[in-house]
Amino acid sequence: MAKDVIQTGWLLLLLLCAGLPGAVIAQESKDPTVSISSAHAVFGQQCELCHEPLRGVNERLCIRCHAGPLHTTTQAVTPPCGSCHTEHQGNARLALISNDRCVGCHADVRLKAGTQPTFARTITDFTKDHPQFALSLGNGKNTRRLRLDDPGARQSDRTALIFPHERHLRADLKGPKGIVQLTCKDCHVPERDGKAMAPIDYETHCQQCHPLGFDPQFPDRVVPHGDVLYLHSYLVMTFSEKPPAPQPTPQPMGRVTRPLPSVAPITVSPSVAQRVAAAERYLYSVTCTKCHLVEATQRPLPRIVEPGIPRVWFPHAQFAHRPHRMLECAACHEGVRESKKAADVLLPGIQMCQPCHRAVRRDGVVPVQGGAPADCVTCHLYHNKAEDVEWNGPFSIQQLVGGGGTSVTPSTTQP
Ligand code: HEC
Ligand code: HEC
Ligand code: HEC
Ligand code: HEC
Ligand code: HEC
Ligand code: HEC
Ligand code: HEC
Ligand code: HEC
Ligand code: HEC
Ligand code: HEC
Task: Give the model confidence (pLDDT) of 130-159 as tens digits.
Answer: 999 999 998 778 889 999 999 999 999 999
Proximal ligand: closest to the CA of 356:
10
Q: How far apart are CA 103 and CA 354, in angstroms?
A: 18
Instruction: Establish whether residue 255 lines the binding site of ligand 9, counting it when its CB lies within 6 angstroms of any ligand atom.
Output: no
Ligand 8: which of 125, 350, 380 to mutate, most ligand atoms within 8 Å of CB?
A: 380
pLDDT at 191: 96
CA contacts within 13 A on the Cβ side of 343 = 5
Instruction: Establish whether residue 211 lines the binding site of ligand 6, counting it when its CB lies within 6 angstroms of any ligand atom.
Output: no
Residue 241 has pLDDT above 70, yes or no: yes
Torsion of CA 16, 18, 22, 23, to 10 degrees: -70
pTM for this entry: 0.90
Q: How far is the CA of 68 from the centre of ligand 4 (A)?
A: 14
Cβ–Cβ < 8 Å for 148, 349 = yes
Q: How far apart are CA 237 and CA 222, in angstroms?
A: 13
pLDDT at 275: 93
Residue 32 has pLDDT above 50, yes or no: no
Residue 85, number of CB atoms within 10 A of its CB: 18
Ligand 3: which atom is nearest the Cα of residue 71?
18
Torsion of CA 98, 103, 105, 107, to 10 degrees: -170
Instruction: Establish whether residue 319 lines the binding site of ligand 9, counting it when its CB lies within 6 angstroms of any ligand atom.
Output: yes
Which residue CA neighbors atom 1 of ligand 6 most closely? Answer: 175
pLDDT at 156: 94
Q: What is the mean pLDDT of residues 264-279?
A: 82
pLDDT at 107: 96
Residue 3 has pLDDT above 50, yes or no: no
pLDDT at 23: 37
Q: How far is the CA of 40 from the centre of ligand 2 (A)?
A: 6
pLDDT at 91: 67
| pLDDT tier for residue 415 given thresholds of 50, 70 and 90 | very low
**What's at 330, amino acid-wise?**
A
Nearest CA to 346 out of 165, 224, 204 is that of 165
Most confident segment among 258-267, 287-296, 394-403: 287-296
Q: How far is the CA of 84 from the centre of ligand 3 (A)?
A: 7
